[in-house]
A and B are shown apart, each in its own frame.
Chain A
Amino acid sequence: MNMIRTALVAGVVAVTASMTFSSANAAGDAPHAPEHHWSFSGLFGTYDRAALRRGFEVYNGVCAGCHSLRLVAYRNLMDIGFTEAEVKAIAADVDVPAEPNEEGEIEDRPGIPADKFKSPFANENAARASNGGALPPDLSLIIKARLNGSNYVNGLLTGYTDAPAGEEVPEGMYYNANFSGHLIAMAPPLSDEGVDYADKTKATVKQQAEDVVTFLTWAAQPELEERKRMGIKVILFLLLMTGLLYVLKRRIWADVH
């Protein structure tokens, strides 16, 4: 039948074209990030709330020493199950510059939920000066800013190994199996029992990596759950509407065929 043939042709073209698309983004030479099953992947995926909470603890206790999270506000933590009191306490833990006072001097005040996460360094130069010239990137969008971002960051955090025999690792660099070129300026950030989880989960490197990646994925895509929920509804509606339109089309065309 004509329609089947048309659909077949369209399918072949679509598959070929999608191979072209994916090749567009796979131009890099980075090692392939190991696959991992995430709570938020798939059509119905949602963020594991406990992992988000632990992930925040990892970010706050480890990553935040060098990496900013400048697009996320403390108040956003309320979207993932932190209570208002908890968020107020977390925000108040940092001091941020206040508005100029009556004398025109700028003093520090405790943070409030409306503040964005405080950056560890005042500016890029300060960040580079403290990190041997390397700039620790902001983590707000890191998951979206890397191909296959969640797997990539997870692979990076768990990819530290000893360099293979014969490979020279220069001073201030570290060997990472999952980093492009294998030499990275970031020291291995995670260590077993490096954080004390409030929920008493055993803090292996693997566990911490998984938790902080979940947290950072949320930081990059806070809309993910709402988006997928809405998507299911929209597509179900469209399928129903399209089905009805097809019936209508058949009826209207009945006298032509």
Chain B
Amino acid sequence: MAQFQKPGWLDNGLVRWVDHRLPIFTFVSHELYEYPTPRNLNYWWNFGSLAGIILVIMIVTGITLAMHYTPHTAMAFDSVERIMRDVNYGWLLRYIHMNGASMFFIVVYIHMFRGLYFGSYKAPREILWILGVVILLLMMATAFMGYVLPWGQMSFWGATVITNLFSAIPLVGDWIVTLLWGGFAVDNPTLNRFYSLHYLMPFVLVGVIVLHIWALHVHGSNNPIGIDTKGEQDVIPFHPYYTVKDMFGLGVFLVFFSLFIFFAPDYLGHPDNYIEANALATPAHIVPEWYFLPFYAILRAVPANFVGEWATAWMGLVFIEAKLAGVLAMFGSIAVLFVLPWLDRSPVRSSRFRPLYKWFFWIFLIDCLVLGYVGAKPAEGVYIAIGRVATIWYFAHFLVIIPLLAKFEKTKDLPKSISEPVLGGGGGSASAAASKPMEKV
């Protein structure tokens, strides 16, 4: 049986001297050695710590790259090539950083879908979830600005397209765009401020992640069954059980990461970004990085000619331009995540006990992949129709299906405790069926 024990080193004289003045060792002991974690977490729970490790990798490689990079429109592209060719192991640093961004999003998206499947956003973890969405937004801003720095064609044109979106905002739009650009087009001042912010934002991320983990440690992790832990028999200390499990998961992940770094370093990037930025030559298709594609598809799903030049929006009965409608849809697709804990009032967290939600979860996942696929295609022909249906489904999933499921879905009986299905012979479902339904949920 797992033991919750303070580590031996807490009795060391020097440790005790320091701890009496700054209880940092007590803190570590409390949050690792004595921190109770559900005993039944599966491998989908590896992705949180994995995301944290990737952030560290990104900061370390990023700071090193910054020592060699020149944020000037005339020199940025060449300075990146100098890193690739002349800096010792510069190619390695850059390929780690470049692919690390993709890895970060893969891991965080899996982490989020894990949360959606097992209902990790539900009470009492709403703030934990909201902080996670803030982290996603910060990551997106950081990644977007980072992609501008090599000053290739996609850097430049991606920056032009995305910053122009802000001009759709009524009244202050143009002012915001000028502020982002530091002038009247994407140019040297833009590159400079993006570089500055790209360096700053990861540290803001670290701050929000500290809050995220703090919020996590108040009530502890959710688990695949989605019921609260009911005592010592349901939990094990984080260390060594989950530290070693996370380390093993990290090893598997690093193999995957290395395949990209060493054998397909440009697979996730766009060839046009190896052409230096040129304000006079627009690429045939401006495509964002893959991790933005679903959102890009939503942005473009709103018809450009929605009731002529202008579209009437019911909300507030104001006139909004089609471009603004697209921008609102795109930001709305993330905004809806903030209120998810209040859209889903089903008291059952885990999909294992929600026979209908489980199916809609998978359909939603496929919907996101379809959006990603459409986002990569030119906005023409059948892709427009697919993009619209997928966008409508995206919002319907959150705004219609989830609230309705909470009302009408007949959930399965929940097991009494975590230890029961874990310790009882057979699988979790067998013991779940054997256990009596909960009186209250």
Contact = CB atoms under 8 A, between A and B. Distances in A.
Nearest to A76: B85
Interface residues of B, number: 53
Contact of A242 (B78, B245, B251): B251
Given A20-B290, A235-B259, A227 B91 contact: yes
B258 A235 contact: yes
A198 B44 CA distance: 59
Nearest to B428: A2
Nearest to A222: B85
A147 to B, nearest CB: 5
Contact of B377 (A27, A149, A235): A27
B132 to A, nearest CB: 20
A231 B262 contact: yes
B240 interface: yes
Given A141-B81, A231-B261, A256-B2, A20 B285 contact: no
A76 to B, nearest CB: 8
Contact of B85 (A23, A71, A146, A246): A71
A27 B285 contact: yes
A231 B251 contact: no
A3 B365 CA distance: 20
A21 B269 CA distance: 9
A20 B85 contact: no
Interface string B149-163: 000000000000000
A50 interface: no
A43 interface: yes
A29 B366 CA distance: 26
Interface stretch (A11-19, A61-69, A154-162, A206-214): A11-19
Contact of A249 (B236, B248, B274): B248
Contacts of A235: 255, 258-259, 262
Contacts of B44: 6
Contacts of A248: 244, 247-248
Q: Please indicate which of the listed interface residues A6, A16, A145, A220 has the most CB atoms of chain B within 10 Å of its own CB.
A: A145
A234 B366 CA distance: 34
Interface in A210-242: 220, 222-223, 227-228, 230-232, 234-235, 238-239, 241-242
B270 interface: yes
Nearest to B251: A242
Interface stretch (B313-321, B327-335, B368-376, B385-393): B368-376
B376 A27 contact: yes
A44 to B, nearest CB: 10
B287 A149 contact: no
A21 B268 contact: yes
Given A245-B251, A248-B244, A6 B42 contact: yes
B356 to A, nearest CB: 19
A19 B272 CA distance: 20
Contact of B293 (A24, A242, A245): A24
Contact of B271 (A20, A25, A255): A25
A21 B375 CA distance: 10
Contacts of B258: 231, 234-235, 238
A246 B43 CA distance: 13
A6 B117 CA distance: 13
A127 B285 CA distance: 26
A182 interface: no
Interface residues of A, number: 48
Given A144-B274, A255-B1, A230 B92 contact: yes
B262 A238 contact: no
Given A3-B43, A24-B270, A227 B265 contact: yes
Interface string A135-149: 001001100111101
Contacts of A13: 365
B408 interface: no
Given A24-B287, A71-B85, A231-B258, A256 B241 contact: yes
A190 B240 CA distance: 65
B84 interface: yes
B255 A242 contact: yes
Interface in B245-263: 245, 247-248, 251-252, 254-255, 258-259, 261-263
Contacts of B255: 235, 238-239, 242
Contacts of B248: 242, 245-246, 248-249
Interface in A179-205: none
B373 A28 contact: no
B284 interface: yes
Contacts of B97: none
A122 interface: no
Contacts of B366: 16
B378 interface: yes
12 contacts: A6-B43, A24-B376, A141-B81, A144-B266, A144-B274, A223-B84, A227-B262, A228-B263, A238-B255, A242-B248, A245-B251, A255-B1
Interface of B: 1-2, 39, 42-44, 78, 81, 84-85, 91-92, 95, 106, 236, 240-241, 244-245, 247-248, 251-252, 254-255, 258-259, 261-263, 265-268, 270-272, 274-275, 284-285, 287, 290, 293, 365-366, 369, 372-373, 375-378
Given A20-B290, A20-B369, A146-B271, 20 more contacts: A6-B42, A20-B372, A21-B268, A23-B373, A24-B290, A28-B284, A137-B275, A144-B274, A145-B275, A222-B85, A223-B85, A227-B91, A228-B262, A231-B261, A235-B258, A238-B251, A238-B258, A248-B244, A252-B240, A256-B2
Interface of A: 2-3, 6, 13, 16-17, 19-21, 23-25, 27-29, 43, 71, 76, 137, 140-141, 144-147, 149, 220, 222-223, 227-228, 230-232, 234-235, 238-239, 241-242, 245-246, 248-249, 252-253, 255-256
7 smallest beta-carbon distances between A and B, as pairs: A231-B262, A242-B251, A24-B376, A145-B274, A223-B91, A144-B274, A245-B248
